[in-house]
Amino acid sequence: VNAGLEGLKELPAETTDGYRMPLWVNTGLITDVARSLDRGAEGIGLYRTEIPFMIRDFFPSEQDQMETYRKQLEAFAPRPVTMRTLDIGGDKPLPYFPIEEDNPFLGWRGIRVTLDHPEIFLVQIRAMLRAAEGLNNLRIMLPMVTSVHEVDESTKLIAQAVEELREEGHVINQPLIGVMVEVPAAVYQVRRFARRVDFISVGSNDLTQYLLAVDRNNPRVASLYVPYHPAVLKALQFIVHEAHKENVSVSICGEMAADPGGAILLMAMGYDVLSMNATNLPKVKFALRGISFDRARELLNQIIVMDDVDKIHMTLRNALKELG
Ligand code: PEP
Ligand code: MG
């Protein structure tokens, strides 16, 4: 199968009736980058910056971070690279910055940590901005946002970093800024976020976990962790409609986009970009090239009114079989 997928590299993810779907990748290490380009990725929808932090024994310096980020930005230029600000806590521990909590997924994670430590945030933002100097393909993305206040605080700090660097003589363009929608509170504030930033990106891994109250890593409840749950599908559809009311582009960077069935439904909902792991990109492209947008819409309309997860899974499976 993989050999057959090889030839897809240069071909767009275009449905049989000519609907074009941008496919981007999620990265973490520089080794992901060559593989992603090799598979025809059109951008990076999620660069998990905590990964280079996790493989060190201490906080990397601004210079160190800048060099790491520069490699991703350079390799992908002029394609866009979406760098997520440090998303530690929850399931992403830093060995040299221990966080002990009873409920880490409801605790100090993502933007909550970095807004409590603006010095960590500012160093990272400065490193990103410097890394993008002369390339101008940087998008900055904020994780675990639950309130407008967090968006405003973050954009203020980013503006401060831009100003500082300009005063120091750097040529810094204003980066695009985006908010991740990965908790239920964010779902109901998409329009407010959209008025403040340049893009919205859905983290369906966490969104599934928080909507269904199911720990994404607990094997005992793994069978309840279902991205195709009717409530999750409803939320995903709602997010697109809300973002588009403000004419803001909305992407998805959770694992759901890496599943051919998920990708078809998300395209039909109107997602502007699907970002996924590089391994699955050819498979997703193959699936999208084999279906018409009309058929995908039909499938979505059929599935979105279903009450039962098993029936949804079966309907999707049959539809994929039909595609070969
Ligand atoms: C997500 O939550 O869907 C996401 C993309 O971020 P992570 O998996 O890194 O939490
Ligand atoms: Mg997440």
Tell whether ligand 1 has an atom less than 6 A from the beta carbon of residue 291: no
Q: What percent of the chain has pLDDT over 90?
A: 94
pLDDT tens figures, 183-224: 999 999 999 999 999 999 999 999 999 999 999 999 999 999
Q: Could you say which DSSP state residue 40 is in?
A: T
In this structure, are residues 59 and 67 in contact, taking their beta carbons and an 8 Å threshold? no
Determine the 3-state secondary structure of 98 from DSSP.
coil
pLDDT at 2 over 70: no
Ligand 1 centre distance from Cα of residue 26 (Å)? 10
Q: Could you say which DSSP state residue 200 is in?
A: E
Q: How far apart, in whole angstroms, are the C-alpha atoms of residue 17 and residue 25? A: 24
ipTM of the complex: 0.99
187, 253, 255, 259: residue to mutate for ligand 1 pocket, most atoms within 8 A of CB: 253
pTM of the predicted model, to two decimals? 0.96
* Chain CA centroid to CA 188, Å: 18
pLDDT tens figures, 94-110: 999 999 999 999 999 99
Tell whether ligand 1 has an atom less than 6 A from the beta carbon of residue 205: yes
Surface-to-core class of residue 11, CB atoms within 10 Å of its CB (0-12 exposed, 13-18 middle, 19+ buried): exposed
pLDDT tens figures, 64-81: 999 999 999 999 999 999
Ligand 1 centre distance from Cα of residue 143 (Å)? 8
Tell whether ligand 1 has an atom less than 6 A from the beta carbon of residue 258: no
